[in-house]
Structure 1
Amino acid sequence: MARVKKSRKVGRIGVPKESWAPRKPKDPNNTKPKKHKGNPSGSRHSAVQLNEKNPNQSKQNDPRIGSKKPIQLVVETKDVKTKAKPNKPKYFSPAQELAELENNHRLNELLDMLDNDIVLTSDDQRFVDLKLARHKELCELLGIGNEEENKDQAKTNEDDPFDVFESINIEKFK
């Protein structure tokens, strides 16, 4: 007797296909128009032809060729510090500027701190120095002297006993 090999097939697997039948033709009247995406084919080349109509354009540009502007490959660092001009109030006369300086609230506070032996920051010290220098210039322009200092110097000359002692002429008492 002949030997029969074992098989895993158990008959048909799956659903049998239906017989092939041609599809119904689509009605062109019922279809929606297709949405067009992007530029039409050859649009790069047709753009050149449109530009040819301009008589002012002496050079024919090809849109496929990009910009001729050079590109920096290495980034150079520039100083970010831009000199911003501070908004200085404009005064009609030096007297007005002097009055504004003397009424400056920040300057008065910083001068009080200096009188109390409090150390100022470098920015505050620079501000005080600038304002005092401008105050001195304005006083010289207006001819205003420090009358208090002049009076103090005069009083110290009169009140100083050594100055009086040295200024005494001994020959008067002989």
Structure 2
Amino acid sequence: MKKPTSAAGAKRPTKAHRKTREELNQEARDRKRVKKHSGHSAGSRANGSSASGSTAQNSKQKDPRIGSKTPIPLGVTDTPVVKQHKPKSEKPMLSPQAELDMLENDERLDALLERLEAGEKLNAEEQKWVDAKLDRIDELMQQLGLSYEDDEDDEEEEKQDDMMRLLKGGN
């Protein structure tokens, strides 16, 4: 169980001496003075960076200037460089077949062609527009391998075949 303690072997701690108010105040002043001087020295960033910084940072000097360091020509240049962006075409690129279908179904073109067939004269601007559209239709038909002449030849051959059938068999 418990070991008996001998009274002769154990020393009692003596009663601690209470400090006076003056002693306490003096110790507080000393602590404050030590604490006040324990910080970094004034101006440590500008003056002595070698004590706190590593050698890698010290070897590479940073430029203290703020902003871009690229040189700007102050004199008048001989040739001013002006980039002009090409305006995008208003019409999206269509396949030749889609563009041909669009031109064949154009109401304005149909109306102007009907006026021409009726014998009316178009003004210069309308005539120029019609010619441009008809030229574009011809280009697209050549790209696609179509032509009006082939259609006419096929129709003539069909008429010839029909005539031959009528003459031969009488069907």
TM-score, with structure 1 as normaliser:
0.37
TM-score, with structure 2 as normaliser:
0.38
Q: Which structure has the larger Rg?
A: 2
Q: Which has the higher contact order (CA 8 A, sep 6+)?
A: 2
Q: Which has the higher helix share?
A: 2
